[in-house]
Amino acid sequence: MAGRARPHPAALRTWFNPPTNTSGVRAWLGLLVVLGPVLLVSMDGSILFLAMPSISQALNPSADQALWILDSYGFAVGSLLVAFGNVGDRYGRLKLLIIGATCFGLGSAAAAFAPTPELLIAARAMMGVAGATLLPSALAVLSELFADPKRRAQAIGIFAAAFAAGFAIGPIIGGVLLGRFWWGAVFLINIPVVVLFLGFAPVLLREVRATRAGRIDAISLVTSAAGLLLTIYGIKHTAADGLAMSSTASALVGIAALAWFSVRQRRLEHPLIDFRLFRDRIFTIAIITGLLPLAAWSATAYLAGIYLQSVLDIPVLHAALLALPGAAVLTTTCIVTPLVVDRVGKRTALLVCHFTIAGGLLLLLFTTITGGVGWYVASTAIAGIGYGISFAVVADTAVGAVPTDRAGAAGAIAETSNELGNALGIALLGSLAALVFRLQGPDLAPTLDETLQHPGLMPAAATAATSAFLTGLHAATTTAAALHITLGLAATRALRQTWTR
């Protein structure tokens, strides 16, 4: 058009491909590309909650194999996040993202077509290892793309929303797919997202390495991974099956390994985890806030799924759709939290986080063996506010508290707190519910589903079983709510002088 100055080509290149640490179009497109694998990694932590009955019918795994099908993924992710966060910092985050996404896709394909329980367990473990490479490196890449604190907080809030949404919608996606396809579809859905990521990531994302010198301490890598794996395994099996030599020994060896690991880090010039970060009250309580909400969410989501299907006899697809309101609230809260925190302050946000989770959990106390769908939906929606705040605040605090070259390691600590919460929630709170069921139930089988399928089950015994399960659900949710109220009060008091508006 005549009379209008044409933009200089260099200006156009700067606008689309801005200099490092600017929040231009390329940064936001890079965020969009990263969200795909982040969503998949978190979604695969919960997608089997509704798929296990179909997998059990198809592959006929033993009780131990079924447990490993569920747990091998979370074990691998939780035990390797810290290690791979540091590997990405030192050797290249983009390179690790691409390698991890490729392995995640291959593992997903192997899981979808696994002909035996053993191969499915191996494929799930492979997916977990790959997932551990993706999360900390993705978060570190975002911290490099967005140098402005407000833009970075927005980007990390969206990142946290995708991570949280994956956990929330995993059972929903699983239920929808199982309504139309065979069980392997819950893994094949990962493939298109991985392909898109591998196509766009090299174009939109930059390679980023830490500026620190020095090699990674291999002994620390092995010790951190082994210590976390053995500790999680031992605690889960001790909580679920009671004291046994193997599980108790595993937990003790794991705890000893982690203790030795922490001592070793204080002597290293370039530690995997800088424990000096935990001297900061904000950082420490934020990490705890990352663990407890995931423990509460995973346990209540798992138990509520059984309640809806086995107690209220709601079809799997309908049960999955009932979780949508809570998932929508959780995701929205993750996105808006960074903006709201600027106005109300982090201390207020922390209060809202813990007390909305507690309030939402306590609403489940109104559920009965004859009805409670409305209470369930209200519970997930109210608690979803707190879950969303916890995701957003933890991620932003962890990354913002450290230099850029340690962002991957700090992000790994934040994500590890989430994964540990997810792993321990079902083990501890779920085992509490199982204990109540064994004590109050008809003593025909260790679980509700097995009891309801017992040959010649009398109506009175079925009622007693469902009542016992509901009592266990109420015990688990009450315990989780009490923990959140306690932590909320303690954190507010401890941070009164530190976290101000």
CATH number at residue 348: 1.20.1250.20
* Mean per-residue pLDDT, 76-103: 76
Same-domain status, 413 and 490 = yes
Residues 243-249: contacts with CB within 8 Å, 24+ apart?
Answer: none
> Quick check: is 37 in a domain?
yes
Q: Which two tokens stand for residue 181?
A: 């396809």
CA dist 281 to 38, 170, 221, 374, 498, Å?
Answer: 28, 33, 26, 39, 8
* Mean per-residue pLDDT, 78-96: 72
Instruction: Give the end of a domain, one of 227, 253, 269.
Output: 269
How buried is 6 (Cβ within 10 angstroms: 0-12 exposed, 13-18 middle, 19+ buried)?
exposed
Question: Domain of 257?
Answer: 217-269
Same-domain status, 329 and 393 = yes
Q: SS3 string of 103-170?
A: HHHHHHHHHHCCCCHHHHHHHHHHHHHHHHHHHHHHHHHHHHHCCCHHHHHHHHHHHHHHHHHHHHHH
What does residue 276 show for φ and ψ, rounded to 5 degrees? Answer: -65, -20
Q: Distance between CA 485 and CA 156 in Å, rounded? A: 26
Q: Within 10 A of 276 (CB to CB), how many other CB atoms are there?
A: 11
> Quick check: is 16 in a domain?
no
How many helical (H) and strand (E) elements, i.e. helices and strands, does the chain have? Answer: 19, 0
Cα torsion at 468, 458, 315, 467 (round to 10°)? -10
**Which residues, including other chains, have CB under 8 Å from residue 231's CB and lie 6 or more apart?**
250, 251, 254, 255, 257, 258
> Quick check: is 501 in a domain?
no
Q: For residues 107 and 391, which has the higher predicted lDDT (pLDDT)?
A: 107
Angle between helices 117-145 and 373-400 (to 10 degrees): 50
Same-domain status, 263 and 276 = no
Instruction: Give the end of a domain, one of 251, 269, 287.
Output: 269
> Quick check: is 2 in a domain?
no
Instruction: Give the end of a domain, one of 230, 248, 269.
Output: 269
Q: Distance between CA 176 and CA 148 in Å, rounded? A: 40
pLDDT category, 412, cuts 50, 70, 90?
low
pLDDT category, 403, cuts 50, 70, 90?
low
Same-domain status, 413 and 445 = yes
pLDDT category, 240, cuts 50, 70, 90?
low
- Give the model's pLDDT for residue 365: 94
> What is the distance, to the nearest Å, from the Cα of residue 373 to the centroid of all Cα atoms in its chain?
25
Same-domain status, 390 and 476 = yes
Same-domain status, 263 and 398 = no
**Which residues, including other chains, have CB under 8 Å from residue 104's CB and lie 6 or more apart?**
37, 40, 41, 127, 130, 131, 134, 190, 194
pLDDT category, 6, cuts 50, 70, 90?
very low
Q: Give the best-scoring range by mean pLDDT among 101-115, 215-229, 278-292.
A: 101-115
Cα torsion at 145, 43, 191, 73 (round to 10°)? 100
Q: Which two tokens stand for residue 445?
A: 């089988």
> Quick check: is 253 in a domain?
yes
Q: Within 10 A of 318 (CB to CB), how many other CB atoms are there?
A: 14
Same-domain status, 187 and 221 = no
User: Would you give the DSSP letter of residue 310?
Assistant: I
Q: Which two tokens stand for residue 357?
A: 């989770």
The lowest-confidence range among 93-97, 108-112, 277-281, 364-368 is 277-281
376 pLDDT more than 90: yes
* Mean per-residue pLDDT, 59-69: 72
- Give the model's pLDDT for residue 427: 67
> Quick check: is 263 in a domain?
yes
Same-domain status, 339 and 366 = yes
Same-domain status, 99 and 184 = yes
Tens of pLDDT, residues 440-464: 888 777 777 778 877 777 888 888 8
How buried is 279 (Cβ within 10 angstroms: 0-12 exposed, 13-18 middle, 19+ buried)?
exposed
> Quick check: is 499 in a domain?
no
Q: Which two tokens stand for residue 202?
A: 């090299």
- Give the model's pLDDT for residue 475: 93
Same-domain status, 357 and 427 = yes
% the chain with pLDDT above 90? 11
Q: Distance between CA 296 and CA 303 in Å, rounded? A: 11
pLDDT category, 9, cuts 50, 70, 90?
very low
8 A C-beta contact, residue 189 and residue 177:
yes
Considering the chain, what is the average pLDDT of its residues? 77
Same-domain status, 258 and 142 = no
How buried is 391 (Cβ within 10 angstroms: 0-12 exposed, 13-18 middle, 19+ buried)?
buried
Can you give the pTM of this predicted structure? Answer: 0.71
Same-domain status, 159 and 264 = no
Q: How many domains are there within the chain? A: 2
- Give the model's pLDDT for residue 501: 44
The lowest-confidence range among 28-42, 243-257, 310-324, 417-431 is 417-431
Alpha-helical (H) ranges within 266-372 are: 281-306, 316-321, 324-344, 346-362
* Mean per-residue pLDDT, 85-97: 74
> Quick check: is 321 in a domain?
yes
Q: Distance between CA 238 and CA 69 in Å, rounded? A: 18
Of 301, 357, 388, 326, nearest in space to 484 by CA? 357
Q: Which amino acid is at 114?
A: A
8 A C-beta contact, residue 81 and residue 409:
no
3 pLDDT more than 60: no
In a 13 Å sphere around the CA of 300, the CA atoms on its Cβ side amount to: 33
